Amino acid sequence: MEIRKIPFRQALREAMQEEMRRDQNVFLMGEEVAVYNGAYKVSQGMMDEFGERRVIDTPIAELGFAGIGVGAAMNGLRPIIEFMTWNFAVLAFDQIVNSAAKMRSMSAGQFSCPIVFRGPSAAAGQLGAQHSQSFENWMANVPGLKVISVSNPYDAKGLLKSAIRDNDPVCFFESEVMYGDVGEVPEEEYLIPIGKANVGREGNDVTIVSYNKMMKIAYAAAEELAKEEVSVEVIDLRTIRPLDVETIVNSVKKTNRLVILEEAWPYGSVTSEVTFQVQKHAFDYLDAPIKRITTTDTSIAYAPTLVSAFMPNTEKVVKAIKEALYVSS
């Protein structure tokens, strides 16, 4: 396969373009996606190619256009609903949680809801408490939704294409600070299956599990510890629901230690679910208590020093791994 290096935003754009060319029922709707070419230029040039009937600008009314998308999906179309940020999607939760997620079960299978809700999640610098929240664990709590959170251009393209083709509602999470990241992406078409984690780095001493932009910190910690001859296995969840428990458990059975890294509040987090699943399926293999690194259990502040204190970082991860490695047995 011919490999190119392209930005994250281009990988997302190519996924949408290819699926819209493939299927006339696919369309994009959201704030500034058409005339302005997208708030983060993800949809640049798409209105020129597909026209205003398939790339649709909306008012600042998330509940309204999410509802239009759900209705369109119930009637045979495949909408992609772009939120400028998942923080704004809070206004649309009634449609996501009470309509899209429940439609198949409430209709006894008469209606499916093939819709993708996508946009950036979590912190992106000094954006304040109302624009910096992570929502993966919120959406993963809802039966009927599939939840994807990507960390690199390759996964972004392959998983977004799979999400668009899926017959159930998918919540797709990106990051504002990664849209310019460049990564290797094949020229040829490819799909990545939903529900399969990726072992991005193999190791023998400890497993670290994460997703989205926290993967950068996970890899940085693994590199730092490699200098001390500590072998870290790094797993990118990619899909939060359904969770690839098998890959995580198999890794823990090999390394006997687990550290989980997440940019979210600790209470009721993805780290909590991963911890439970590992204790259920691999408790006897653990040689140390499971360690987890999350944000602090507060709203994020605006001051840069407080943002730094709120967020996970490489130093915190390295410290947690060393605590897991050198615990008394």
Q: Which residues are catalytic?
A: 62, 131
Amino acid at 262: E
Amino acid at 302: Y
Q: By the 8 A CB rule, do 265 and 233 touch? A: no
Closest CA to 116 of 185, 189, 174: 174
Tell me: cis bond preceding 153? Omega within 30 of 0 counts: no
Distance of CA 154 to the CA centre of its chain: 13
Q: Which residues on adjacent β-strands are paired with residue 235?
A: 199, 209
CB atoms within 10 A of CB 204: 12
